[in-house]
Structure 1
């Protein structure tokens, strides 16, 4: 009789408190949201020292979890960083992982583990909402009127809402689960990165139609879409072409809808945003608000978007069971193709903070980026100087999810879950940074291998870090990498040279 009554009480509790039962059922499977900024620098965030711009929501996220001061993307540009994030492998080991055009084929291997596949294997629903830039299909030529695959869905995402490359490259359209959104089949899309197609005006021939002037030597003088010259030529798809001022809110709305539809089951949501990458054309509500030109306005828009995601997590009642990670794909750049006030209205702002270099540089500012994580079982209000890389998220989440990474795959990813939660202060022993050349960091020491490339790129005002001589820096005493100690510490130089060579020799 007692057992019968207990069973009835349990059933009654399940009916009256479904939320409690759901929470108990999902306790070991927290949601994970990874927000990825584009070209956001170490010094662009208030929590990292920015004083000329307010990032209240990023600072709020930082205060609710751990802020890492020595976190890195794998590379100083976007495509290779995203490749490393997805695969757990250094991109410089693989040919064809440089910055991709908008018509490039998919570069993510379909027969290997990826970050979203890891979550799928653990029973998660997975989604990407935002910038992709890892190629689509099996070749350059594509039929944009039909399904374009393989792409995000084949690499592990149950749901995808993306644009193919970057906002300054054609095709300037959204794609949902392999299909172009709002495409009129009577106006088919054609894309070409070598020869002009169609009759649309170009920035080169019709500069009077541009909303903002393009800088010389950047290639943003091809097909004009929404008053902005792009890289590459495009014809057709006029009903499907985006309006730049609405890109961010379109991604945000889609991400929030996904969260609402999946709030009752564990999900992994990857949100690679477009700010503050060019062309910077923020929504009207942000234009002129930063005093730093459109780049600053775009950062305000990014910060607001992060705040909206944080608020949605709270509104859905899943805050206590949701891990949120925020970072950037590489360092900052000001002059990147458009005259948008980023340079002329800088107003003393230091996008790289105390670091040397920019996007595209092997100096620290190229890959050392903001990185924050918060959520259940993660320390709050903590700052860590542990050396970590975005490439380590795959192996680290495998630990959390109790999923084995197949032998020989994601070989450059290290399990740093205890570091990410704040349980330990220890990070990586060594890390390889990548731009045109390679650098290796071990402890406080950094070695940059000799490189025959140009030391300074005028078009983007970039100190590349390239030099025919080896460079050695003590980042503890010289985080700005001003004093080359290669000749003063030959033994340390040889040690790091040997370590880098061992990394390069790995198969």
Structure 2
């Protein structure tokens, strides 16, 4: 492979050189833990040709409001994430991967549909906060398309794409659902933003059954996911495992007193209690992220024990950038912003049967790309009436095919716009000023090059506006 023009694209996925090329021959044998620990040091991505495998199981894990540098492998100086770091060493760690939007539900829309959130009415909510919008059951989804292609499908954890009775994972292609419908819940009581009990098995609240599970939510999700991946499956499977960690409230496992105080406030009618604006700390956040790491490790251990590790594609990312206590350095901005800190997210991919470990990629990619990629890897056909906005990376991951150098990554939220093409990013924030940044030289978005590259700025702005014209307008 040859590198792209740096004015159009950051270096292509990668060309192994020197010691890296020699290391490419090492790879991972049968996906074993021992081989993973012995994986070579990170090197540029290089596809492995001529290696065959069956259609993969897919374990797609999302953290919630996890910042780009909150993993030790991404530079956190104080948070230790050995299990996620190991996952990255076993496959590919992406340095320039983005969420589909800057908040929870729009990104989930972009993952489930493979399209910009603004293609659908429900995706215009940033994020969904009431029962007026959701993912229409008639819209094809990653799950429904995979199910049509012979996959078993399940979603465990946070849905946040609409509420009953009109919207639900089981109405949109998932065979099984266990989790919460809303954008946040208190980790012990399972009370949601409206004060309702928000833990469901299918479309029935567990609170309507004989018991409620009032254990720490991350423990419950980990247990359920471990059980699912450990089953004897007759079909290949998709599991969307959507943790709420480390989303507020800032409650770690064992914090029953803090939980009880938030519950008291919720029951007293405090509609902002779950936001926990008067709680949390860097240390508490560290505790929650490290708990997420242990939980992912437990699920991966169950997968290994089941004998399915080699043939399972495991993907990990965050749904958007970090929040109050997140570590995003050197990026600017946080969740809800289209600055890098609001949309660039840690992203890891492992598939021992087809992809060698110890690799790093700086190709710009975003959430809709993964939908297109997974559909192709699974042999599922997209619905032509709902064209995808992402680009499948399957050919590149497996055969080293080039990705179009000048392709655009597009984002839109109320009051902000952004478009990335190669190294260049066009950004307009709430100030209304058009800005241009070269991310290869300035990840922090502090050196505005608009005055020096007026033609490029015009070109990228017009590209953004052409895409925007094809989307639904925001309601007044």
Which TM-score bucket, shorter chain as reference? 0.7 to 0.9
Which one of the candidate residues 433, 437, 461 is aligned to 2:411? Answer: 433
1:501 is matched with 465
CA distance in 2: counterparts of 1:292 and 1:286, whole angstroms:
19
TM-superposed deviation, 1:504: 1.4
Any unmatched runs of 5+ in structure 1? 1-25, 138-147, 186-238, 335-341, 343-349, 450-464
Distance in 2 between residues matched to 1:502 and 1:101, nearest whole Å = 26
Take 2:453 and 2:244, find their aligned partners in 1: how far apart are those partners? 42
* CA distance in 1: counterparts of 2:404 and 2:321, whole angstroms: 21
Once the two structures are superposed, what CA deviation does each residue of 1:259-279 show, in whole Å capped at 9, x if it has no partner?
A: 233444311100010011001
CA distance in 2, matches of 1:388, 1:96: 23
2:318 counterpart of 1:321: no
Q: CA deviation at 1:149?
A: 4.8
Match of 1:249 in 2: 219
Q: Match for residue 437 of structure 2?
A: 473
Question: Offset at 1:82?
Answer: 0.5
- CA-CA distance at 1:482 after TM superposition: 0.3
Structure 2 counterpart of 1:371: 347
Q: In the alignment, is residue 173 of structure 1 matched against residue 198 of structure 2?
A: yes
Residue 254 of structure 2 corresponds to which residue in structure 1? Answer: 284
Q: Residue 183 of structure 1 corresponds to which residue in structure 2? A: 208
Q: Deviations over 1:476-504 (max 9, x none)?
A: 11110001111221111111011112211
Q: SS at 1:479's partner residue?
A: coil
Q: How does 1:127-142 map to 2 (within 5 A)?
A: 127-137=154-164
Alignment CA distance shift 1:285-1:318 (3 Å): farther
| Distance of aligned partners of 1:150 and 1:79 in 2 relative to their CA distance in 1, 3 Å threshold | closer
Alignment correspondent of 2:451: 487
Q: 1:250 & 1:427 partners in 2: Cα distance?
A: 42
CA distance in 2, matches of 1:263, 1:286: 37
Distance in 1 (CA, whole Å) between partners of 2:293 and 2:135 is: 30
1:43 and 2:69 are equivalent in the alignment: yes
Report deviation, 1:425.
6.3
The partner residue of 2:378 within 398, 401, 405 is 401
CA distance in 2 between counterparts of 1:385 and 1:393 reads: 15
After superposition, the C-alpha distances for 1:445-469 in whole angstroms (9 at most, x for unaligned) are 11113xxxxxxxxxxxxxxx42221
Alignment of 1:258-277 (within 5 A): 258-277=228-247
1:155 correspondence with 2:131: no
Contact 1:30-1:266 within 8 A present in 2 as well: yes
Q: Could you say if the C-alpha distance between residues 101 and 506 of structure 1 is closer, same or farther in structure 2, counting changes exceeding 3 Å?
A: closer
Instruction: Give me the CA root mean square deviation.
Output: 2.5
Return the offset for 1:106: 5.4
SS of the counterpart of 1:261?
A: coil
Q: From the superposition, tell whether residues 65 and 421 of structure 1 become closer, same or farther in structure 2 (CA, over 3 Å).
A: farther
Q: Distance in 2 between matches of 1:101 and 1:365?
A: 21
Taking a change above 3 Å as real, the CA distance of residues 149 and 96 of structure 1, as seen in their structure-2 partners, is closer
Q: CA deviation at 1:408?
A: 3.3
Over residues 311-342 of structure 1, what are the superposed CA-to-partner deviations in whole Å (9 max), with x where a residue is unaligned? 011111111111100000000011xxxxxxx4
2-structure distance, mates of 1:83, 1:361? 18
Please name the residue that 1:54 is paired with.
80
Match of 2:131 in 1: 104
Contact 2:426 2:435 in 1 (8 A): yes
Alpha carbons of structure 1 residues 89 and 103: separation in structure 2 relative to 1, 3 Å: same
CA contact (8 A) 1:110 1:155 kept: yes
Kept after mapping to 2: 8 A contact 1:326/1:373: yes
* Alignment partners' CA distance in 2, 1:403 and 1:300: 36
Shift in alpha-carbon separation, 1:62–1:321, aligned structure 2, 3 A: same
Alignment length (residue pairs): 387
| Higher relative contact order, chain-length normalized (CA < 8 Å, sep 6+) | 2
Deviates more, 1:91-100 or 1:361-370: 91-100
Q: Any gaps of 5 or more consecutive residues in structure 2?
A: 1-51, 186-192, 258-279, 472-476
Asked whether the 8 Å contact 1:69–1:383 carries over to 2, the reply is: yes
User: Aligned residue for 2:322?
Assistant: 332
- Tell me, yes or no, if the aligned pair for 1:399 and 1:415 is still in contact at 8 Å: yes
2:298 aligned to which of 295, 308, 316: 308
Q: Secondary structure at the match of 2:384?
A: coil
Q: 2: CA distance between counterparts of 1:176 and 1:130?
A: 10
Q: Give the drift of 1:113.
A: 1.7
Residues 410 and 371 from structure 1, CA distance in 2 versus in 1: closer, same or farther, beyond 3 angstroms? Answer: farther
Query: Who wins on radius of gyration, i.e. which is larger?
Result: 1
CA contact (8 A) 1:286 1:301 kept: no
SS in 1 for 2:223: helix
Q: State how far apart, in whole Å, the 1-side matches of 2:128 and 2:465 are.
A: 31
